[in-house]
Amino acid sequence: MKTKLILLVTLLSTLAFAHEGVERGPNGGRILEFSDNETMHGEVLVKDGKFHIELLDKDMKPVALAAQTLTAMTGDRAKPVKLEVTKDAKGFAIPALKAGEWLILRYKDTPDAKAITARLEYNTAICEECQAQEWLCKCKPEKEAK
């Protein structure tokens, strides 16, 4: 009985705190931080079964790709799975994940630069308020809404 009660409380608290707005980019995608000082961002969109990540500067303007690199993983810490990342003129493409999986990205401005890690839970549940998928929720976090 205790196990079931703990499981129920954990599930309810996860659902209660899972909902929060995310920063959205100029194309409606989710913004991930790719720098320590908010000068480089990645806008993540899903198209044709792939995550597409476009680099944006501090003013949310597109950045031309040059020496930048991105690696992607999913799975748990004990057994991470490396994902194939392709690069084109607009950004990076990665195969889309299953709903509920985590996408872990490691971005570098140059091959010898320090890697910046960004994480995204691909939560495809629909937000009741804004009707967007939770990973793209347009609602403001509770603390900002008050």
User: In this structure, what are the phi and psi dihedrals at residue 98, rounded to the nearest 5 degrees?
Assistant: -75, 150
Q: How many structural domains comprise the chain?
A: 1
Q: pTM to 2 decimals? A: 0.80
Q: What is the mean pLDDT of residues 35-49?
A: 95
Q: What is the mean pLDDT of residues 120-138?
A: 92
Has residue 13 been placed in a domain?
Answer: no
Q: Is the pLDDT of residue 57 over 50?
A: yes
Burial environment of residue 53 by CB neighbours within 10 A (0 to 12, 13 to 18, 19 or more): buried
**In CATH, what number is assigned to the domain containing residue 136?**
2.60.40
Q: Looking at residue 139, what is its pLDDT?
A: 85
Q: Which position has the higher pLDDT, 122 or 12?
A: 122
Has residue 121 been placed in a domain?
Answer: yes
Has residue 32 been placed in a domain?
Answer: yes
**What percent of the chain has pLDDT above 90?**
70
Spell out the residues 6+ positions from residue 25 whose beta carbon is closer than 8 angstroms to its own: 31, 41, 43, 54, 56, 60
Q: Which two three-digit tokens encode residue 110?
A: 């140059």
Please give the DSSP secondary-structure letter assigned to residue 131.
-
| Beta-sheet strands, E only, within 20-128 | 30-33, 40-47, 50-57, 69-74, 81-83, 86-87, 92-95, 102-108, 116-121
Q: Looking at residue 89, what is its pLDDT?
A: 80
The pLDDT-based confidence of 20 (bands split at 50, 70, 90) is low
Q: What is the mean pLDDT of residues 82-90?
A: 92
Q: What is the mean pLDDT of residues 10-16?
A: 42
Has residue 12 been placed in a domain?
Answer: no
Q: Containing domain of residue 40, as a range? A: 21-145
Q: What is the mean pLDDT of residues 15-25?
A: 65
| Residue where the block lists tokens 């937000």 | 127
Q: How far apart are CA 46 and CA 43, in angstroms?
A: 10
